[in-house]
Amino acid sequence: MIPIIDVKNLKYSYKNGKIILDIKEFIVNKGEKIFLFGPSGCGKTTFLSTLAGIIPAHEGSLKVFGTEFIGAKTSVKDRIRGSQMGYIFQMFNLIPYLNVLDNILLPTKLNPKKREKLDNHALLIKCKEIAKALNIEHIFLKKANEISVGQQQRVAAARALLGSPKLIIADEPTSSLDAEAREMFLENLFAQCDAQKTTLIFVSHDKGLAKFFPRQIALPEINRAQI
Ligand SMILES: Nc1ncnc2c1ncn2[C@@H]1O[C@H](COP(=O)(O)OP(=O)(O)OP(=O)(O)O)[C@@H](O)[C@H]1O
């Protein structure tokens, strides 16, 4: 079996040259749900951004769906991210003046591969299915800046799930929710991931969520960089 993510001796530094990531090994297999945690500033977002090919790591090996990302062209990484991954950003990255439905559909407009060969009608049905599971169907026509933070987080999750990505990377997607809403959000996300056989890498500094995940990894334990 080819791992979905296969990291060996990965190094990353920002322009100032300070090494932020120095990871000997990190392997993620298909269908896993991984909880990646660590204190603020330990490199979680940086690590996720390298895995998604948003920022380029320069040293070591980072294979994503079998493709080597180190030294790969931006277009290759963009294609893999666009067609195989859903990314839930820390700040959600919703477009405030678009309504909920258009925000969810946005990646399918930007990246035709996310459409799974669905026509507009089928896409809308799929979108409604996911929105229903995440309990945001009733706010489809509201603008993103008119809904609550918890609703925005679920819209961001729906957007990442549409297109049945093989991998979801979620960066602190529950940080603005209270404990009850957080667990509900996780339950919904897990159900959707199970239904679509999606692998999940979920980052949080909230260790209370760790118990819900079959595998937990403390980033400082696998990261040799002294930040
Ligand atoms: N664009 C950048 N240029 C230089 N240094 C950066 C940049 N972005 C982040 N850093 C530094 O890299 C380190 C890791 O930051 P990162 O955002 O990855 O941590 P984090 O664990 O996600 O933090 P948080 O939980 O607060 O979001 C920090 O020391 C930060 O100051």
Phi, psi at 57, each rounded to 5°: -75, 150
Name the closest-CA residue to atom 18, ligand 1: 43
Interface pTM, i.e. ipTM: 0.97
What band does 118 get if pLDDT is binned at 50, 70 and 90? confident
Query: Domains, the chain, ranges and CATH?
Result: 30-55+81-222 (3.40.50.300)
Report the greatest alpha carbon distance in the chain: 51
Best of 14, 35, 217 to mutate for ligand 1, by most ligand atoms within 8 A of CB? 14
What is the C-alpha to C-alpha distance for residues 206 and 215, in angstroms, rounded to an integer? 15
Q: What is the pLDDT of residue 116?
A: 67
CA end-to-end span of the chain: 34
Name the closest-CA residue to atom 4, ligand 1: 14
Residues with CB under 6 A from ligand 1: 14, 16, 20, 38, 40-46, 205, 227
What would the pLDDT profile of 158-207 be if each residue is shown by its tens digit?
Answer: 999 888 899 999 999 888 778 888 888 898 889 889 988 899 999 998 88
Kindly give the number of the ligand 1 atom that is closest to the alpha carbon of 46: 18
What is the C-alpha to C-alpha distance for residues 116 and 143, in angstroms, rounded to an integer? 26
Q: What is the pLDDT of residue 217?
A: 96
Name the closest-CA residue to atom 24, ligand 1: 40
